[in-house]
Amino acid sequence: MGWGEVLRYIVFACVYLSLVGAASANPYAWKITKESWSAADEQEFQQLVIRMGESDCATVTECMADPEANPYRKSDPPGLSFTGDCADFPYYLRAYFAWKKGLPFAFADIMATRDGTPDPRFSPKGNVVVSRTDVVTPYPGAEKDFRWVRTRIKDYVYSATFRTHPELNGGADTDTYPIKIGRGAIRPGTMIYDINAHVVIVYEIKPDGRILWVDANPDNSVTRGVYGRGIPRTAADLGSGFRNWRPVRLVGATRQADGSLIGGRIELAKNDVLADYSVEQYEGTHPQAEEEPKKKRRWGKKKDEDPQKEAWLTARFVHDGHDHNFYEYVRHTMALDGVDVPDPLVALRSGLKNICSQLQSRIELVEGARKARLHRTEHPPKLPKSIFKGDDEIWATHASATLDAQIKQSYVALHEDISAKVTRYYAWDDNLAYSGISLKRDLARIMEEENAACDLVYRTSSGRKQQISLSDVGARLFDLSFDPYHCPEMRWGENTFEEGHACIRDEAKADWYRAQRFMRRMTDTSDARNTGYGLTMVGLSGPRRGLKKTPPADVGALVASVTLRPMPPEFQRTAQR
């Protein structure tokens, strides 16, 4: 080799090394140094989630930028920011932590429905993973840029990513998996998938078994709540409920002198090696035996229908020898030993605080429509194709149909919960965590305290401040208008659409309000898949569909109806003798 060739090689090597150095100097470069997540890594990730939940940050952008919520913020390159919704948020946290710690990461980026329906978010039979993005470094200097990963998550991850059967394709290509109910399995970082296109993240489990969650919303806001009936349980096909991150491992990589791992591929752990994998939340604690004879087919049932398809509806959940509904079972199972769970006072206070948080969000939503003067604007000739989604920006931004459905579900669930506990109180149930003298008085005290603590003030159509309480909303729950073109008084259920009230500038608004009565009674977003009709058709749809009987939801009226309980059974028997 001549000196000329040697010189050319030296020049080439210098250029190559300078390029590699420039690439590695990228502050967003994802440098992988560990083949898998250790137990210590998982515990540290849990601490990140806990801090996010316990902080008072109110948006995804704010949470990720808040050093109190995000202890790794100080090492971020200047200008790094985040915006996202409920599905993006858990992926952001997981990917961000992995980037900071040099850990492997991968995620599903394209989903398809199992039955060919067009919208994977609401597919009736669930979804499959079509492709994935793996964070690996193919050769030195070619690290993934975290900003690219963040953007790809924002663009490709959505609630449909969670809508997968736990055993589909062996479960190895899904990012998350269903888990058994219990402490250790359900932990900070566990996700709860709501099939109504929503995902929340567990950040704390109280000693009495209450599970606290944090979530993000399409408007980038972050809210917090308590797990309950507002998140429905369904069959396994839709993947609802509690899910943990599937462990990933980088295999076949080569470690460099600087400790980084080059090449290799991502492998995901199979269900059969996961200690906390379980389909218990779908099949119950006492699933039907395989040899159990099939029940006689009901009249009208299709011959090709899977006889086990609806088995989840009759699944039994037993704890300490007692049958519970699923939500009670979760609460009992998650409670620490010795902690009394069914406390009506704790349940009422917790439920009202959760509702208060939801109503605060509604205050801002209605106020936005008022500031936009939509109540002074002529009502569109037709409603959106779905009142829960909205075809245009105005409806999507200012309507409250989806939030109202969640609020109604919360009131109904709280009414059901307190009613059940009152029934147990009347029966002198020893398992009820209440030892006071007057349950009615104590419940009324909680109502009064939470009404005072929840500062709900909205502005009327004239701009005047109007106080409203949790009890007020409960009493007029099914009168709250979701329509952004209605005045604030109508949005908050005041009976102002009669007698030419000042907030009504044209009778058409009152006509729309009357016609939408059956829609205001909906608590399930699946009940209104097609609402894109004009006023006449909407008015006819109510009688045609039938105005369903609204479920009991007025918690204040329930508390007022509580009476003294009868003598204990043993005293009744003594009195009879």
Structure confidence at residue 292 (pLDDT): 45
Q: What share of the chain is helix, strand, coil (3-state, %, to 5)?
A: 40, 15, 45
> Which residues lie below 8 Å from residue 435, measured CB to CB, with a gap of 6+?
none
Lowest mean pLDDT of 268-272, 520-524, 525-529, name the range: 525-529
Mean pLDDT over 19-31 rounds to 71
Amino acid at 369: A
What is the Cα–Cα distance from 453 to 441, expressed in whole angstroms?
18
pLDDT above 90: percentage of residues in the chain: 58
Structure confidence at residue 545 (pLDDT): 60
Mean pLDDT over 400-421 rounds to 92
Strand, coil or helix: what is 144? strand
Range 225-248 burial, b when 16+ CB lie within 10 A, else e:
bbbbbbbebbbbbbbbbbbbbbbb
Residue 391 pLDDT > 80, yes or no?
Answer: no
> For the chain, what's the residue count?
577
| Mean pLDDT of all residues belonging to the chain | 85
Tell me phi and psi for residue 479, to 5 degrees.
-105, -5
Structure confidence at residue 171 (pLDDT): 45
Pair of tokens at residue 369: 């429509």
Name 192's bridge partners: 200, 242
Q: How confident is the model at residue 326 (pLDDT cuts 50, 70, 90)?
A: confident
Structure confidence at residue 527 (pLDDT): 60
Amino acid at 240: S
Mean pLDDT over 179-190 rounds to 97
Lowest mean pLDDT of 7-21, 415-429, 460-474, 562-576, name the range: 7-21
Whole-number Cα distances in Å, 536 to 374, 380, 382, 539, 544: 21, 13, 10, 5, 13
Pair of tokens at residue 413: 């669930």
Angle subtended at Cα 414 by Cα 408 and Cα 418, rounded to the nearest 5 degrees? 150
Strand, coil or helix: what is 11? helix
Whole-number Cα distances in Å, 358 to 401, 402, 455, 500, 511: 13, 11, 12, 31, 28
Q: How confident is the model at residue 257 (pLDDT cuts 50, 70, 90)?
A: very high
Query: Looking at residue 170, what DSSP letter applies?
Result: G
Structure confidence at residue 477 (pLDDT): 94
Q: Greater confidence, 429 or 56? A: 56
Name 194's bridge partners: 198
Amino acid at 53: G
Whole-number Cα distances in Å, 532 to 53, 89, 463, 526, 538: 38, 32, 31, 15, 9
The 10 Å Cβ neighbour count of residue 564 is 8
Structure confidence at residue 332 (pLDDT): 83
Pair of tokens at residue 103: 């850990």
Tell me phi and psi for residue 162, to 5 degrees.
-90, -10
Pair of tokens at residue 285: 């604690």
Structure confidence at residue 306 (pLDDT): 52
Pair of tokens at residue 543: 């009688």
Residue 307 pLDDT > 70, yes or no?
Answer: no
Q: Where does 304-460 have alpha helices with state H?
A: 326-334, 344-371, 393-398, 401-426, 439-453
Q: How confident is the model at residue 343 (pLDDT cuts 50, 70, 90)?
A: confident
Query: Are the beta carbons of 503 and 375 closer than 8 angstroms?
Result: yes
Pair of tokens at residue 187: 């932990």
Structure confidence at residue 22 (pLDDT): 45
Encode pLDDT of 98-148 as tens digits.
Answer: 999 999 999 999 999 988 898 999 999 899 999 999 999 999 999 999 999
Continuous segment of H or E residues that includes residue 10: helix 3-24
Residue 532 pLDDT > 50, yes or no?
Answer: yes
Structure confidence at residue 8 (pLDDT): 59
